[in-house]
Amino acid sequence: MAGKRWRFVLAGKRDDAVGRRPRAAARLFPVAAAGLRCCCAGGKRCRGQHLSRKPSLRPRHASPANRFVERRALSPLRLADRKRDKRPLLRRSAIALIPFAAAACSFAPDHVRPAQPVPARYSDRLPDGPSIARIGWRDFFRAPELQRLIDAAMANNRDIRIATARVDQARGAWRIEGAPLYPQLDAVGTGSRGRTLYTLPGMGATAVDLRQVSAQLSASWEIDFWGRLRNLRDAARWEYLATEEARRAVATDLVAQVANGYLLEREYGERVALAQSSIATREDSLRIIRRRYEVGSGSKLDMTQAQTLLAQAQITLQVLEQDRAVNRNALALLVGEPVEIAPGPLGLTAVQDHLALPAGLPSDLLTNRPDVVAAEHRLRAANANIGAARAAFFPNISLTGGFGTMSTALDGLFKDGTEAWSFTPTIVQPLFNAGRLKGNLDVAKAQRDEAVASYERTVQAAFRDVSDALVRKQQLGLQIATTREMVGAQRERARLAQLRFDNGRSAYLEVLDAQRDLFDAEQALVRLHRAEIASVVALYAALGGGFVGQPTPPNSGERTP
């Protein structure tokens, strides 16, 4: 091969310019079986192209005669050049990916949950058992009548409707803040007509009528290099989740209020029954004492004391009926409709009181409280606002373009030659704004500090609510046991006092005092009984119970709804 001579036929002429250099040129143009013909008739420019050490894949002046050489002789070079072209392609691809890599950056601070300024565990030691906060309200409140009232309240209560409307508003704001992340496309139709004066040298002013109509598709997109738009969207998302937790807090509070109203109704029912029974007993006593007075065996003082005791019981009944009516009106306001509750005994079956609480109740159970979760969501939103405020210091890059038709008359709008288009990239770098951007950043940081303090205050308030409910539940149980013993003692005292009076061994004042104390003790026992159940309801609400299985917050990559 090294000693073989190669000849090139350029427009029918023989050229031995390659001489004995087959390694550089013979690979491209071996003409042992085929000639290389060119349309330039073998000019110097053509020979310089064909005989170059690094020729292009295709001759600058191609002709049909070269197709065979291109297919057979140039195929190895084509593969080699393709390999060499890969590295510039990779470099171009890397350069093209720089904007997308920049778009992934964010200036928002990393979220760190503030340390909870509360003890690690509650001081009260309670028996082990399932967590009360993980039980749905239908399983917790077992009375069918109470469940019906709660269902009606969830459907009709105006506070729930207001909270739900706020959730819908926040969801819409989230959608609004997420829309600028995507290109905006609009159909635009315009028409204008006017007259203007043109002054030409030597011709004076000339009036010219201007008419123009256009129809086009307009597109615009702000490239979110620095994460400003994404941080605004994230802030709106966390605000939406905070309003959702606020709605859950309203619902939890509503369930507790309805339950307490129902328990008060039961308490008033039992206290009214006690008052009515006491009134009947005192009426009988007054009738007996009056008969004694009439026959001369009793004193007028005893009769007036019996009348006073009866009047006190009647006043107590009237007050109870008043309070019962007020409570029923409040319950009707919560439920959203008139309330009719069948009379019945006040029993612990109204709530699932037999459920025990974990030993010491670790304070991380507070993370289930909706107000604590909402405060943390607002802290996340404040961090996102800081990222948006920081990104505002960097250039704003946007692309705007349009394509359509334009004409001076409406009937010629879609004729040939009326096409029009525009493309306008814009970059805006803030230079001077009198401290507006710095002020926005300072405001965002101050709002973050406020959100941190609000979160810590909410945690402290939640911890106090739970601690108070635990103390009440434990102490009320002791008070009920003591009051039961006192009621038994007062009942025996009243019996003995009545027996002494009947035997003439004491005045009626002793009976009066014993019956009054017994009535007060029985009323107190009913109040404590209701308060004990209410303390369980308060603990249930303080731990955020009532609504389990809530949706988890979407991650940062979730698309706007």
Judge contact between 176 and 263, C-beta under 8 A: no
Least confidently predicted of 192-201, 226-235, 436-445, 527-536: 192-201
CATH of 132-181+224-353+360-394+429-542, picked from 3.40.50.1950, 1.10.260.40, 1.20.1600.10, 3.30.390.50, is 1.20.1600.10
What is residue 544's predicted lDDT score, i.e. its pLDDT?
84
pLDDT above 60: residue 135: yes
DSSP secondary structure of 517-529: HHHHHHHHHHHHH
Residue 235 scores a pLDDT above 50 = yes
Say what the pLDDT of residue 106 is. Answer: 73
Is domain 182-223+395-428 in CATH 3.40.50.2000, yes or no? no
DSSP letters for 483-500: HHHHHHHHHHHHHHHHHH
Give me the percent of the chain exceeding a pLDDT of 90: 40
Q: Are 408 and 401 in contact (CB under 8 A)?
A: no
**For residue 201, which amino acid is it?**
P
Contact 293, 199 (CB under 8 A): no
Record the tokens describing residue 267, joined without a space. Answer: 């308490």
| Structure-model confidence comparison of residues 163 and 85, the more confident one | 163
Q: What are phi and psi of 429, to 5 degrees?
A: -110, 115
Residue 475 confidence (pLDDT) above 80: yes
Residue 63 pLDDT > 60: no
Q: What is the mean pLDDT of residues 203-208?
A: 78
Query: What pLDDT sits at residue 50?
Result: 45
Please state which of the ranges 33-47, 107-121, 331-345 shows the lowest mean pLDDT.
Answer: 33-47
Domain with CATH 2.20.200.10 in the chain: 182-223+395-428
State pLDDT tens for residues 344-356. Answer: 665 555 554 545 5
Structure tokens at 190: 């315009």
In tens, the pLDDT along 360-391 reads 555 566 677 899 999 999 999 999 999 999 99
Over the range 25-40, which residues count as b (16 or more CB within 10 Å of their CB) and which as e?
Answer: bbebbbeeebbbbbeb
Give the model's pLDDT for residue 132. Answer: 65
The pLDDT of residue 545 is: 76
Distance CA 165, CA 159 (A): 10
Distance CA 196, CA 214 (A): 20
pLDDT tens string 533-545 = 898 888 888 888 7
Nearest to 404 by CA among 389, 381, 432, 423: 423
Mean pLDDT of 520-541: 90
Give pLDDT, residue 351.
Answer: 58
Mean pLDDT of 193-210: 80
Q: Does position 184 have pLDDT exceeding 50, yes or no?
A: yes
pLDDT the model gives residue 69: 41
Q: Is the pLDDT of residue 104 over 80?
A: no
Residue 101 pLDDT > 70, yes or no? no
Residue-level pLDDT at 109:
83
Residue 51 has pLDDT above 60, yes or no: no
pLDDT score recorded for residue 228? 92
pLDDT digits (tens, 9 = 90+) for 431-458: 999 999 999 999 999 999 999 999 999 9
Model confidence over 241-276: pLDDT tens digits?
999 999 999 999 999 999 999 999 988 988 999 999
When comparing pLDDT for 156 and 201, which is higher? 156
Instruction: In the chain, list all ranges with CATH 1.20.1600.10.
Output: 132-181+224-353+360-394+429-542
Identify which has the larger pLDDT, 399 or 117: 399
Hey, how many other C-beta atoms are within 10 angstroms of the C-beta on 221?
A: 16
Contacts of residue 392, Cβ cutoff 8 Å, sequence gap at least 6: 228, 430, 437, 440, 441
Query: Cα–Cα distance between 408 and 420 in angstroms, integer?
Result: 13
Helix, coil or strand: residue 115: coil
Cβ–Cβ contacts within 10 Å for residue 390, how many? 22
Size of the chain, expressed as the number of residues it contains: 561
**Residue whose tokens read 């491209």:** 28
Which amino acid is it at 561? P
